[in-house]
Amino acid sequence: MGDPLSNTSAAVLGLVAMGARSGYEISRAVDRSLRFFWALAPPQIYAELKRLDGLGLIEGRDEARGARRRRVYDATPAGAAALRAWVTADADPSPLELRDPELLRLFFAGSVGPAGAVERVEVMRRRSERMLEAFRRDIEPAAERAREGGHELPQHVARFGRELHEFVVDWCARVERELAEEGRAA
Amino acid sequence: MGDPLSNTSAAVLGLVAMGARSGYEISRAVDRSLRFFWALAPPQIYAELKRLDGLGLIEGRDEARGARRRRVYDATPAGAAALRAWVTADADPSPLELRDPELLRLFFAGSVGPAGAVERVEVMRRRSERMLEAFRRDIEPAAERAREGGHELPQHVARFGRELHEFVVDWCARVERELAEEGRAA
DNA sequence: TAGGACATGTAATGCGTTACATGATTAT
DNA sequence: ATAATCATGTAACGCATTACATGTCCTA
């Protein structure tokens, strides 16, 4: 059966299996679904499409219009099987990776005084408020459409993202209050 | 004043400014503090130390023992200034990046049935439960020591991490119940 | 006195990003 | 008819990781 899929390979394969046909469509689908927990830029998507095609997990055909090349893909039965195998992989969880420059700034904000720290937390809060907008406007409607298409899980995952940012907003508000008090005490 | 620091540069510089002296000490400090929101492996740390030294933001000297080389660093005044400038950077927030293979699996778990989806959520929950252990055992005690050393922010940031994983555990428990119900309904 | 843990680094690989290139379609 | 946007991709770079190399100290 070959090596297990990389996560990025599986992401592209999975979106093809859910009906995204071309690199561009996959890129759009990523923006409306995976984006907030598995970012994928176009160059990776096109590279993965080629690799998956070479492995026989998807099958591409040309569908050019005029001088404009265009290649569309479908998952093969082998691809569907590989996706299921990847989903049920090892019970040993891969780690959640978080990478947040604002949290990093906050960690080192001691050198700029309490007011400077409060500013960084406010920036964090506004960022998550904007993310909540994106969830309401783009991600949750797309998940709702996926549900109508028979896929229940995208909606659960989208709710995770929204509630995560609700948590962040709440945490920021609390810390802003605490830091303001520490500032007054000093 | 030169280009603004990269986040990774700033992370290393900041830890040196907080008293971590050698590459190894920085690596230990990362494991007990930044790790969960800004991972840094030894090769990056050593590379950044060299770069920061070249920029005059830290100053290294040899402190070998026997045939064993060892180089220790201190932040220069210019380094402290660069760190403050980096902390107060643009009000336009850099995005929080999340990258979670388990969430990705869950997103595509429709192909393996409700029971398969529940399994993936259980794996996610156990992962965050283990992270909570790590917070209690390593990260929060280190943050407490930092507070005693006059640095308040690490403790706030550590609490962010703990509460984040508490949120994840809670979300998983709720979704496990919901998916179990959907499974019974089908 | 040998094995393991602690400590300090380097080399090589590879993934993901930024920047770029180019054709088609729509709007004004 | 010209600009803007949609659509499809490639090339090059750089950061971060994996794997490795090596010395020193502790302990049984």
Nucleotide with C1' nearest the A71 CA: D8
Residue percentage of chain B with pLDDT more than 70: 98
Which pLDDT score is estimated for A182?
A: 81
Average pLDDT over residues A80-104: 91
| pLDDT per position as a tens digit, B51-65 | 999 999 999 998 877
Size of interface A-B (CB pairs under 8 A): 191
8 Å CB contact of B100 and A127: no
Say if residue B2's pLDDT is above 70: no
Nucleotides of C under 7 A from a protein CB: 7-12, 15-19, 23-25
Is the distance from CB of A33 to CB of A158 less than 8 angstroms?
Answer: yes
Which pLDDT score is estimated for B12?
A: 97
**Alpha-carbon distance values, B89 to A60, A115, B4, B10, B94 (Å):** 46, 14, 9, 12, 10
| pLDDT per position as a tens digit, B19-53 | 999 999 999 999 999 999 999 999 999 999 999 99
Q: Is the CB of A44 under 7 A from strand C?
A: yes
B181: which 2 tokens? 């119900």
Which pLDDT score is estimated for A69?
A: 79
Average pLDDT over residues A58-71: 83
Say if residue B167's pLDDT is above 60: yes
Which pLDDT score is estimated for B144?
A: 95
Poorest-pLDDT segment among A70-79, A91-100, B79-88, B122-131: A91-100
Q: Compute the radius of gyration of chain B from its Cα atoms.
A: 21
Is the distance from CB of B33 to CB of B118 less than 8 angstroms?
Answer: no
pTM: 0.94
Give the number of C-alpha atoms closer than 13 A to the C-alpha of residue B171, restricted to the C-beta side. Answer: 24
| Closest in A101, A106, A164 to B153, CB measured | A106
8 Å CB contact of B38 and A104: yes
| Closest in A37, A104, A109 to B11, CB measured | A104
Which pLDDT score is estimated for A156?
A: 98
CB-based contacts of A47, cutoff 8 Å, min separation 6: none
Which pLDDT score is estimated for B1?
A: 54
Nucleotide with C1' nearest the A65 CA: C24
- The distance of B44 to chain A (nearest Cα, Å) reads 15
β-pair partners for B22: B72
8 Å CB contact of A150 and B110: yes
| pLDDT per position as a tens digit, B79-110 | 999 999 999 987 688 889 999 999 999 999 99
Give the 3-state secondary structure of chain A.
Answer: CCCCCCHHHHHHHHHHHCCCCEHHHHHHHHHHCHHHCCCCCHHHHHHHHHHHHHCCCEEEEECCECCECCEEEEECHHHHHHHHHHHCCCCCCCCCEEECHHHHHHHCHHHHHHHHHHHHHHHHHHHHHHHHHHHHHHHHHHHHHHHHCCCCHHHHHHHHHHHHHHHHHHHHHHHHHHHHHHHHHC
8 Å CB contact of B83 and A7: no
β-pair partners for B60: B73
A162 versus B63: which is more confidently predicted? A162
